[in-house]
Structure 1
Amino acid sequence: MRTTVGIIGGGPAGLLLARLLHRAGVDCVVLESRTRQYVQRRQRAGMLEQGTVDALRAADAAARLDTEGLVHDGIELRFERERHHLDFPVLTGGRTVTIYAQTEIVKDLVALQLTDGPPLLFEAEALAVEGPQSGAPVVRFRHEGRERTLACEWVVGCDGSHGAAADAFPAAACRTYRHDYPYSWLGILAEVPPSCDELIYAHHARGFALHSMRPPRFSRLYLQVPNGTGLEDWPDDRIWDELDTRFTVDADWTLRRGPVTAKSVTPMRSLVHEPMRHGRLLLAGDAAHIVPPTGAKGLNLAVSDVRLLAMAFTELHADGSTRLLDGYSDLCLQRVWQATRFSDDMTRMLHAQPDGDAFDHRMQLARLRRITASRHAAAELAANYTGLPLPL
């Protein structure tokens, strides 16, 4: 097989890039190691920045998003039994966020690509990227029981931090910055209408809690738990009781309970791979960076990478210029590090620190008080949460 851009990974980053390239007349092939059923069932993030919504609309992939997505004008912070609303349009000059599950984005993009798009191969496991510094890199992959090759002019790795693309970077040519947090998230999907109109971020001495949603019938909720926590230690009733405790406020509010349909425990970590380009191999999304989910930046960072890549390949296709491709890594990393900083700030402010003391707890409360009492501080949080502009 031969193509202009070989894309490894059929998650939202790889699929959106393929869609944007196809509309720009740049041919590509997507290799996805999992089955279609698997990638369409993975439960992931659901908070979309305005730039992500705009990118999906530009790809003509927002028909369901525009009818089923839930626009949010802000978030609620809870601490010390108080509730505080941050009004994003007021604080940012009109910007909002939208709740629409990543699972649904993937379904939309897969359907579009299989109907009218470039080749998408499921159960096609990328084994290696060869010759990334040559003018003709090759992706070796296994599909339908035999090994095959995909000859490319460029390769984009959207296959996660342990994928073949990141592995193709020589150790001497890259560096990975990593931080592991001393806690995890226990997440549940419950078949019950949301108990709130907007996301709730709760700081509590027992640990952080988050109320999100998959409207209209489902709620998505999270609890901070120690690393190494097993699901067997958390029966449904214990989860609901703990959520009740951490969301408690001195107001008329009730947490709705319902059947738990899915549970998972996710360790918290930050990771940044520098650079994001090696020869004709470029990284995007989780292959280049991972952030703790507290700031809701993972999917949105991946989309910002893809938007820049699509512009770069379109520029190359139109007039042969490599200006954007040459600047891709540096431009992306400016935004990546700011999103990593924001995610880290939110994580440290809202989570109970296992080795913290009374002073640390008071500092967290002071930061929360600063945000809820100062328009300037609230506006900075809102600007980061709704999404920083592409650094062009």
Structure 2
Amino acid sequence: MAEEASQLPDAPASTTVVVIGAGPAGMTVATLLQRSGIDCVVLERRSRDHVARRQRAGIVETRAVRMFDSWGLADQVLGGIPHDGILEFRVDGRSHLVSDRDGSDGPAARLCPQQVLVQKLTETFLEGGGDLRFEALDVSLHDLTGDRPTIRYRTPDGTPHALTCDFVAGCDGDHGVSRTAVPDGALTAHAFDHGIGWLTVLADAPPPAHPLLAVSSQGFAAHFPRGPYASRYYLQCPPDDTPDHWPEQRVWDALRTRLGDPGLVSGPITDREVFRLRSLVHDPMRYGRLFLVGDAAHIVSPMGGKGMNLALYDADLLARAVRDVVRDGDDTALRDYSARCLRRVWNDQEFSHWLTRTLHDAGDAEPFPRHLARARLDRLFTSPAAARAFAELMTGIDLEAGAAPLEKLSGNLSGNGGD
């Protein structure tokens, strides 16, 4: 009996917000809440070292930089260097430079790898006295539609713990426990498979002068900086391909051909994997007192670099909404959270889909879609109006300025499942 009693959790501790996941979404939510004087606890199932080393997105877009700046955090949490605003499109070896500056004032986008952003957010949060619990195992969410949800988990030694809270921020990605805690039927999943695979390669090789997107009859390829001495490459491949089919020599040969750069300098490949381009949106992004943030709510094709930036946008909206409730008793922004997030999600999904189709169809598609895609690229390279529209979308269009009232938006964007 004494042994059984020792396995029971102590009386639940209490906090205002429990944040599930310590990636860019979770650490942004936590840091902004801390900045607002609101207590929270972050639970992360991985170790701190594992989270710090995860290699993902590399550009924090202009709108997100300005968001951090508005919180007085840009200098603390954004590493890397300012993006010069130039993208290079290379079509059959011919270079076209396109600006992604929309002409607005304020700080520019930053070339900032995800792991750098997460490390700096984590340091800022912990230095401010934040409560971040790594290696929180078997996390489970309970009573999400009640007044005080309970979050249970175990430490690596098997000790059970419980936390009660006012709100839960589900920031643990597409395969995390947050969304799986929502009953079937409470959310609608909108999924799309692009039918495209990418081999992604990380190498200790010189980065390009500008982020580079290339089209050729051999398929799509890209080259992005990941630091002063590292590069991330992408190669279009069949969606069911495997890294084993891509030995180092084949990788470098394909990159030199598709990028139109016979003298491309190679380097040691430190990581490679194949993934399938897909898009997914869950609607609404809320169930009771659980609010989904970032990849837990939506997956975007990586073309256009919108995934991490959407997560940062979600985090900002949620932190501000919780602040309104805690400080002023005003739950308007919290009720509108899903609708406001999804408006941007669908806008960025459309842009990412447009760019994905354009750059892949322009390469090795059938003649009709290939000619359509190349016409779009020609318009981008020659029309100032088309270039301005592209820059606005890359920068992060301000949907809040002059926005239509939320209740007039079509569809079920304003659903608050579980209320």
Number of aligned residues: 387
Mapping of 1:116-265 within 5 angstroms? 116-125=128-137, 127-144=139-156, 145-194=158-207, 196-248=208-260, 254-265=263-274
Distance 1:370 1:94, change over 3 A: farther
Which residue of 313, 322, 333 maps to 2:342? 333
Q: How far off its partner does 1:268 sit?
A: 1.0
Q: Contact 1:160/1:285 (CA < 8 Å) preserved in 2?
A: yes
Per-residue CA deviations over 1:2-24 (Å, capped at 9, x if unaligned) read: 11001101101101111110111
Distance 2:320 2:296 in 1: 20
Distance 2:189 2:364 in 1: 26
Which residue of 110, 119, 122 maps to 1:98? 110
Distance 1:320 1:21 in 2: 16
Query: Unaligned stretches of 5+ in structure 2?
Result: 1-12, 402-419
- Which residue of the partner structure matches residue 321 of structure 1? 330
Indicate the SS of the match to 1:139: strand
Please identify the structure whose Cα radius of gyration is greater: 2
Which residue of 284, 289, 299 maps to 2:298? 289
Distance 1:230 1:67 in 2: 33
Q: Contact 2:80/2:110 (CA < 8 Å) preserved in 1?
A: no
Which residue of 258, 264, 271 maps to 2:280? 271
Per-residue CA deviations over 1:341-382 (Å, capped at 9, x if unaligned) read: 111111111115999411121111111111111111111111
Q: How far off its partner does 1:173 sit?
A: 1.9
Q: How far off its partner does 1:142 sit?
A: 2.3
Matched, 1:54 2:66: yes
Distance 1:355 1:361, change over 3 A: closer
Distance 1:371 1:355, change over 3 A: closer
Indicate the SS of the match to 2:160: strand
Distance 2:387 2:42 in 1: 41
Matched, 1:361 2:370: yes
- Which residue of the partner structure matches residue 72 of structure 1? 84
Distance 1:66 1:288, change over 3 A: closer
**Percent identical:** 40
Indicate the SS of the match to 1:43: coil
Distance 1:117 1:346, change over 3 A: farther
Q: Cα RMSD (Å) of the superposition? A: 2.0
Q: Contact 2:303/2:355 (CA < 8 Å) preserved in 1?
A: yes
- Which residue of the partner structure matches residue 345 of structure 1? 354
Per-residue CA deviations over 1:80-125 (Å, capped at 9, x if unaligned) read: 3321111233x54457422110010111112222222321011113
Q: Contact 2:64/2:313 (CA < 8 Å) preserved in 1?
A: yes
Distance 2:250 2:228 in 1: 25
Distance 1:239 1:300, change over 3 A: same
Per-residue CA deviations over 1:229-280 (Å, capped at 9, x if unaligned) read: 221211111111101111117xxx8422222122122221100000011111
- Which residue of the partner structure matches residue 42 of structure 1? 54
Q: How far off its partner does 1:317 sit?
A: 1.8
- Which residue of the partner structure matches residue 397 of structure 2? 388
| TM-score, length of structure 1 as denominator length | 0.93
Query: Unaligned stretches of 5+ in structure 1?
Result: none
